[in-house]
A = this chain, B = another copy of it.
Amino acid sequence: MRKPKIVILGAGYGGLMTATRLQKSLGVNEADIVLVNKNDYHYETTWLHEASAGTLAPDRVRYDVRSVIDKNKVDFVQDTVVEINTAGKAVKLEKGELAYDYLVVALGAESETFGIQGLKEHAFSISNLNSARQIREHIEYQFATYNTEADRKDERLTIVVGGAGFTGIEFLGELANRIPELCKEYDVDYHKVRVICVEAAPTVLPGFDPELVNYAVAYLEKKGVEFKIGTAIKGCTPEGIIVAKGENEVEEIKASTVIWAAGVRGSSIIEASGIEAMRGRVKVNPDLRAPGQDDIFVIGDCSLIINEEINRPYPPTAQIAMQQGVTCAKNITALVRNEDNLETFTPDIKGTVCSLGEDDAIGVAFGKKMTGKTASFMKKMIDNRALYMIGGPSMVVKKGKFNVL
């Protein structure tokens, strides 16, 4: 009998969790497992704001995919996915093609600019390790250039962060700590630097407890961050951004650095492959399979799951992606063994902590609100837990965060 072939697309939180669980649950003779990823490394998406701000070395944010997979059970293919051929049960890659019996789509999120003019061309987004390194270097270059110009341009020292959601706020927290270091390194007057957060929604961190939100805003404002809440970005130019001002007017904010952190969407590969999706996210069945596709699982940021309590989608998080990986591996194992008792996925939200830099944070964990050093400690434990879940204790030792309290 031919062994079924399981192909996993993406080595993010969801894909890597699926692969590492499958290599434990399935015997060598039960299935062939292939993991496909663009890079030979996994990166911690939830830590990219640190690499972008320059507060954590980029190399600390990633590890080699091959260091966590069992190469006797999982083949690793470094390639880029071009298209999924659902009818032919095959995946077209840039450098080849892979047939599958079971497919796991864990391709992660892409930046979503909602058609705002110039954003794609002139703003950066914190979306992968390459872009994080570029943002870090771009900001540093602006500081390095400031004093070399006879006619000093203060806009070189202005950084606009579009979006006061999770990514935006965590990035601001890191920036607030990084700016004084940059000022010292490049002999720049701290008072010339502006960090402006522009958010169209009427509040920072929508969905978060208002008391915690106030704590975060007060903390960041004390560190020099300016908030423009309820302000929509209308466009982005090489010189800065255009924002709405009142009903009909607009205003220009000159800034050499614009970071767009206000929107993510699922994968464009999914749409291009004709799988039913909304902005690249598939509203999956309770067993995590795509509607009408018996052999395709979709997990992580490409999946959409409704929180019945509030009748709104769960935000895409690493926590959910990893939990989905566990369920997905169980369900594929069952299918390979011709069992039909597929598990229903239910997220188990243990807590949500938003970092405000090295030593402060806000969050809720175990049903308790927390701020300051307690929350910051909890955040680092969450970060370490993701390393542990996929890479085991040795990965925590190698890449973990221990600068706590």
Contacts and interface: CB of A to CB of B under 8 A. Distances in A.
Interface string A99-131: 000000000000000000000000000000011
A133 B137 contact: no
A130 B150 CA distance: 12
Interface string A140-171: 11011101100000000000000000000000
Contact of A141 (B130, B138, B186): B138
> Which interface class (under 10, 10 to 19, 20 to 34, 35 or more) fits A?
20 to 34
B144 A134 contact: yes
A59 interface: yes
A136 interface: yes
A58 interface: yes
A185 interface: yes
A134 B130 contact: no
Nearest to A39: B187
Contacts of A144: 130, 133-134, 136-138
Contacts of A138: 141, 144
With a 10 A CB-CB cut-off, give which of A133, A138, A185 has the most chain B CB atoms.
A133
A130 B147 CA distance: 6
Contacts of A39: 187
A134 B141 CA distance: 6
Nearest to A62: B187
Contacts of A187: 39, 130
B133 A186 contact: yes
Contacts of A148: 130-131, 134
Nearest to A147: B130
Nearest to A145: B134
Contact of A185 (B59, B147, B186): B59
A185 B60 CA distance: 11
A147 B134 CA distance: 9
9 contacts: A58-B185, A130-B144, A130-B147, A134-B145, A137-B137, A137-B144, A137-B145, A138-B141, A138-B144
Interface of A: 39, 58-59, 130-131, 133-134, 136-138, 140-141, 143-145, 147-148, 185-187
Q: Which 5 A-B pairs give the minimum distances between C-beta atoms?
A: A137-B144, A137-B141, A130-B147, A133-B144, A134-B144
